[in-house]
Each structure stands twice: as C-alpha cells, then as structure tokens.
Amino acid sequence: MKAYSLMLILLCLAAGGVNAAEAPAKAATCVACHGADGNSMNPEWPSLAGQNVDYLVRQLNHFRSGQRNNALMAPMIAGLSDADVMELATYYAGQTPQAAASGDVSLIAKGQNVTAYCVSCHGGKGKTANPEWPNLAGQQASYIEQQLAAYKSGARQHPHMQVAVRRLDATDMAAVAAYYSQLQP
C-alpha cells in the first residue's frame, strides 16, 4: 500500500510539471488532493496555488488545533511542525494559480451581482488585498459552495462570513461559486 501511494504521488508530481525537488518533502501528502502544483483538479478540494501565506498558515493551524474539522485533513497535518506549516504555505503561495472554471456558466452573471458584498474582503476580481483572507478567483465552484454552506450552518466560523452568507440561498451560493471559479487568479 505504501509503495502504491508513493508511486501515485510521484506520478502526480510528474504529471503536474512540478519538479519533485522543488516541493517540500511534506508536500507529498498534499498532492493527491490539492494537485502537484497546488491547483486542485477535484471540485471538492481547494486549490492552494497563489493563496496568501498568512491565510494558508492560519488555516493549517486551524486544522491542527481542531478549530477546522475535516476527517481527511486531520491525519495529513497532525505531525506538521510550525516550520513545516510555514514551508508548505510559502511553497503553495509561490505556485501559479489557474482558473477552475467549474461552475454553472448560466449562473455567472447572477454570481457577479451577488458578490457585491464579497468584494470588500475578497477583492473585485476575487484577489484580496488582506493576506489573512483567501483569494477566491479560480477556486473550484463546488468547494466554494461547500464553504459558504458551512459558514451558513455554523460548521465553519468567522463573524464576517456568518453575516455575509445569512441571506444567501443555495442558488445564490452556486452563482457566487460559478462566478469566482471562472475568474483568472
């Protein structure tokens, strides 16, 4: 099983065009979900490429402390040191992000209108000026929808986000996700 996992990771690294020597050793466990270069191909998982270092560090620390609960992430980050977290965050922040363009194209115009409230934190084109907040441009639409729903249900906590999503329904969330997924990061 370990040999199979290692082979899968090496194949993913080779397919993604990233030299394995460039990536931190601890990134090998990140590849299957977040892509060799930090651009996730799976709509359920976020892309990390080009994300803010501070945001990535904070989120990894939230996963390590249990403040963010995810059964898949917990074992992956359990043994990371503060130095590992910083190294991974710095590596992924330095990767070139790509647009996922994975949302329902018929909802993009509606999404642009719904995001009027979002731009104050996440920027007019999904790129934030605040390193503590995530860039949304190019993220997987399904992932954005999941996170919006988690904020709305209270499963994920942030005071600004709870206010931002309280009036959004499922169609609004899908529209926001479609809009941000197609933006060039």
Q: Do domains 2-93 and 105-182 have the same CATH topology?
A: yes
User: For 36-64, b where at least 16 C-beta lie within 10 A, e where not — what string?
Assistant: bbbbbbebebbbbbbbbbebbbbbbbbbb
Q: Are 163 and 68 in contact (CB under 8 A)?
A: no
Q: Are 129 and 54 in contact (CB under 8 A)?
A: no
Per-residue pLDDT of the chain (185 residues; tens, 9 = 90+): 343 333 333 334 444 444 444 889 999 999 999 999 999 999 999 999 999 999 999 999 999 999 998 999 999 998 999 999 999 999 999 999 999 999 999 999 999 999 988 999 999 899 999 999 999 999 999 999 999 999 999 999 999 999 999 999 999 999 999 999 999 99
Residue 104 CB neighbours (<10 A): 15
Query: Which homologous superfamily does the CATH classification assign to the domain defined by 2-93?
Result: Cytochrome c-like domain (1.10.760.10)
User: How far is it, in rounded angstroms, from Cα 133 to Cα 143?
Assistant: 16
pLDDT at 125: 94
What residue spans define the domains of the chain? 2-93, 105-182
Q: Cα torsion for 171, 172, 175, 181, to the nearest 10°?
A: -120
User: How far is it, in rounded angstroms, from Cα 57 to Cα 89?
Assistant: 6
Contacts 24+ apart (CB under 8 A), 152-157: 155/69, 156/68, 157/67
User: How far is it, in rounded angstroms, from Cα 141 to Cα 88?
Assistant: 24
CATH code of 105-182, in short, is: 1.10.760.10
Both tokens assigned to 58: 């904070």
Angle at 164 between CA 154 and CA 35, to 5 degrees: 70
